[in-house]
């Protein structure tokens, strides 16, 4: 009998220790996942912000007041979006600036940011038959998407940082298509690029398009805004909040010194850097943990006060962590 009692006590202790270790393991695993989600989100956002204006900033002028990059109507917040994208070419579905800022001032709202840049790789230029034609070699079928008048591409390396509109493509299924430009290259550009091709230097073609960074159902989503069947890529999950602040240079003439940080700049040509705030969370409840912190960032003060195990948006039994990064703009808007 004594032996049984002793074995029982030992068994209860062992089970308790194992259960406790399992709780610690799953909690640590959730924290690691939270950290990785935030890192992936921050890396992707940083890449897109640094690439803003690449291959196209020369088309928009000092104040970036004109252009023909199609994107969404700011008033549409549905999911999936019902806004016109590369639709009929009317002014209501065109982006007239390099950056579209949507600052959500609500305590539970997340910011959105749309930026344009030549990010999508299309293929290598193998020949330039004429001022209006480019011959390509693609690794797969042509990646250019969207209606022909809205196909905007840029050539790298090239000095002027401007996009070129495509008016026709001879075959969208061929890996060696010929693109027609309208307007085309000038004689100097063609001669220079012919020389590069002759020397074996690769000329790459990239598509210019707008990317929207937003949070949908607590997932960081990147919309490529190419066409009505465009890709909406969920990059990271368990993102509680996303906020942006913009470092602006208000000096005349500008000297690349940040004078202040604002939520919604009135002149985007003054932007020199972007602060990104990501409030990440774990994906599971932890009934033994209570988050009583107050998170202050981007003019917001966020705390979690509800003692529940059913709503991760309000429950204090969820781990949270605030991540912040400052990203310097590579392509200045002046």
Long-range Cβ contacts of 186-189 (<8 Å, 24+ apart):
186/131, 187/131, 189/158
C-alpha R_g of the chain: 26
CA atoms within 13 A on the CB side of 55: 25
Rounded Cα distance between 253 and 115, Å, is 25
Is residue 47 domain-resident? no
Mention every residue, 6+ apart, whose C-beta is less than 8 A from residue 239: 37, 38, 41, 215, 218, 219, 220, 278, 279, 280, 281
Residue 150's pLDDT is 53
Cis peptide before 3 (omega within 30 of 0): no
Asked if 13 and 5 touch (Cβ cutoff 8 Å), the reply is: no
Is residue 179 domain-resident? yes
Residue 191's pLDDT is 92
Residue 57's pLDDT is 72
Is residue 212 domain-resident? yes
Largest CA distance in the chain: 101
Residue 69's pLDDT is 46
Residue 71's pLDDT is 42
Three-class secondary structure of residue 291 per DSSP: coil
Domain that holds residue 118: 57-235
139, containing H or E segment: none
Token pair, residue 83, equals 């806004």
Rounded Cα distance between 50 and 43, Å, is 11
Mention every residue, 6+ apart, whose C-beta is less than 8 A from residue 201: none
Backbone angles phi, psi at 236, to 5 degrees: -145, 150
Rounded Cα distance between 53 and 205, Å, is 15
Is residue 160 domain-resident? yes
Rounded Cα distance between 111 and 215, Å, is 8
Residue 108's pLDDT is 62
Our separate counts of H helices and E strands in the chain read 2, 17
Three-class secondary structure of residue 222 per DSSP: strand
**What is the count of structural domains for the chain?**
1
Is residue 111 domain-resident? yes
Is residue 73 domain-resident? yes
Rounded Cα distance between 240 and 280, Å, is 5
Rounded Cα distance between 236 and 221, Å, is 8
Is residue 318 domain-resident? no
Instruction: Divide the 334 residues of the chain into consecutive groups of 10 and give the mean pLDDT of each group.
Output: 57 49 60 92 93 75 40 46 40 55 70 83 92 90 58 80 82 85 88 92 86 88 65 83 92 87 85 94 90 92 89 91 92 62
Is residue 157 domain-resident? yes
Rounded Cα distance between 302 and 241, Å, is 10
């Amino acid at each position: 009998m004594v032996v049984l009692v002793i074995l029982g006590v030992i068994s209860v202790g062992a089970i308790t220790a194992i259960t406790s270790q399992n709780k610690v393991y799953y909690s640590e695993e959730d924290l690691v996942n939270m950290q990785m989600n935030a890192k992936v989100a921050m890396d992707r956002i940083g890449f897109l912000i640094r690439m803003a204006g690449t291959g196209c900033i020369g088309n928009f002028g000092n104040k970036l007041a004109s252009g023909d990059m199609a994107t969404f109507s700011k008033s549409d917040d549905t999911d999936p979006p019902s806004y016109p994208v590369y639709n009929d070419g009317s002014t209501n579905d065109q982006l007239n600036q390099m950056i579209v800022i949507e600052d959500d001032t609500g305590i539970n709202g997340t910011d959105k940011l749309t930026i344009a840049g030549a990010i999508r790789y299309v293929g290598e230029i193998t020949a330039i038959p004429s001022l209006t034609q480019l011959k390509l070699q693609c690794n797969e079928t042509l990646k250019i998407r969207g209606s022909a008048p809205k196909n905007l591409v840029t050539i790298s390396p090239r000095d002027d940082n401007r996009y070129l509109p495509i008016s026709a493509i001879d075959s969208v299924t061929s890996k060696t298509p010929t693109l027609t430009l309208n307007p085309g290259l000038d004689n100097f550009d063609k001669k220079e690029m012919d020389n590069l091709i002759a020397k074996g230097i690769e000329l790459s073609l990239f598509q210019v398009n707008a990317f929207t960074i937003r949070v949908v159902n607590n997932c960081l989503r990147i919309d490529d805004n190419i066409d009505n069947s465009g890709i909406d890529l969920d990059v990271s999950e368990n993102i509680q909040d996303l906020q942006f602040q913009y470092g602006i240079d208000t000096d005349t003439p500008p000297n690349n010194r940040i004078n202040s940080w604002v939520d919604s700049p009135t002149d985007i040509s003054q932007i020199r850097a972007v602060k990104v705030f990501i409030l990440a969370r774990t994906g599971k409840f932890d009934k033994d943990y209570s988050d009583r912190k107050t998170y202050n960032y981007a003019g917001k003060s966020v705390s979690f006060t509800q003692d529940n195990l059913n709503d991760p948006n309000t429950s204090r039994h969820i781990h949270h962590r605030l991540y912040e990064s400052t990203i310097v703009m590579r392509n200045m808007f002046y």
